Amino acid sequence: MYFPYFRGRQYELLALKELAQKGLISKYVIPVVEPIKISPTLKNTIQSFEKADLDLAMILNPAVGDFADSDASSLLEIKSDSIIPAVIFNESAEETFISMEKLGMNKNTVLSVLNNQDYVDYFKEIYSDDDPAYVLLPDERRMRRAVKENKVLFEDKFNKQSKNSDYLKCEDEPFSEDHIFFKDEGYKGFGDYSIVGDNYEEGGFSPRAVAIHIVYLSDENELRIHHFVSDSNYDIADVAGKFYEAVTKLLDWYNKGQERQRTNALSTLIDYAQKGYYPGLPTIKKLSIMHHLELINKYLITEVYQDEMLH
């Protein structure tokens, strides 16, 4: 199973909402959302997952955004059969578990995020007589030893650069092999931060370069990522022109034997290249995320869980 992790930005939520509405992901993809605020888009995304009968994990003690260092109890009030409650093991975890208990929520329904060794002992205390539904954790020995069941290998796979033009230095690079080996290594699933990365920043700015990040499957089924970057990167003028430079490179790449990578989102980007249409930077990010999740979903259905799909 795949657990992509997002911070609840607008374009991320819109990507998830569209994937659910169009039936482009299955029960084998469970997105994890760390909300930065309660917004109509968040509520609409949850409703879309509910209608599609898909699961969506929601962090109840966010560490970034409006809820960081403040009371996030309002998130407990959001009710949906699709929501898997999720808790980051940090300084607010204990208070969150107390609030959940008061509401009659069972700790064995929780998706736990255990990515800080300082909270391993507290995790073992909370789950001394039970197991969480899933535990997202990095490939570190002490954490693996602490978690007995329902482990999910969770690491940032995106090699983020300080500016978009830097991706020109390494246009194609490895992304992950976790989707191939997670079951053999005793994990229930794997997770990452998709093409966004772990780093959280408020707001945005006009870029000197436009980069489109496309994850793809190699001939050996390894995941790689190709960065399609504009060339006229001297100033912030003509962002639409920069996008056309980048998306034209994507079209050329696709036409050279990458038909296997085709998804609904990649088809949309190819259509933009052919028509010379610029959709705006948030839409480009949305489509790159959608492509990644749809591609992984297809791989899981055809290569990992194909026997289940036959029954």
Nearest-angstrom CA–CA distance, 90 and 113: 9
State mean pLDDT over 216-236.
Answer: 96
Give tens-digit pLDDT for 179-201.
Answer: 999 999 999 999 999 999 998 87
**pLDDT one-digit tens code per residue, 108-156:** 999 999 999 999 999 999 999 999 999 999 999 999 998 989 999 999 9
In a domain, 209, yes or no: no
- Whether residue 114 lies inside any domain: the answer is yes
At 77-105, the pLDDT tens digits run 888 889 999 999 999 999 999 999 998 89
Instruction: Give me the domain span that covers residue 59.
Output: 1-154
Domain of 88, CATH number, reads 3.20.20.60
Establish if 219 belongs to a structural domain: no
Contact between residue 245 and residue 231 where contact means Cβ atoms under 8 Å apart:
yes
Please indicate, yes or no, if residue 179 is contained in any of the structural domains. no
| Integer-rounded Cα radius of gyration of the chain | 20
Tell me how far apart the alpha carbons of residues 2 and 187 are, in angstroms, rounded to a whole number: 11
**Residue 95 within any structural domain of the chain:** yes
- Alpha carbon 291 to its chain's center: 11
Q: How many domains does the chain have?
A: 1
Convert the pLDDT of each residue in 254-291 to its tens digit: 999 999 999 999 999 999 999 999 999 999 999 999 99
Question: 239 Cβ partners below 8 Å, 6+ apart?
Answer: 206, 207, 210, 278, 281
Judge whether 307 lies within some domain. no
Q: How far is CA 228 from the centre of its chain?
A: 20
DSSP class per residue in 166-223 = GGGGGSEEEEE-HHHHTTTTT-SEEEE-TTT-S---SS----SS-EEEEEEE-TTS-E
Is the pLDDT at 25 greater than 90? The verdict is yes
Biggest CA pair distance of the chain? 60
pLDDT at 74: 78
**In angstroms, rounded to a whole number, what is the distance separating the alpha carbons of residues 309 and 280?**
38
Domain assignment of residue 52, yes or no: yes
pLDDT tier, 10 (very low <50, low <70, confident <90, very high otherwise): very high
Residue 293 lies in a domain: no
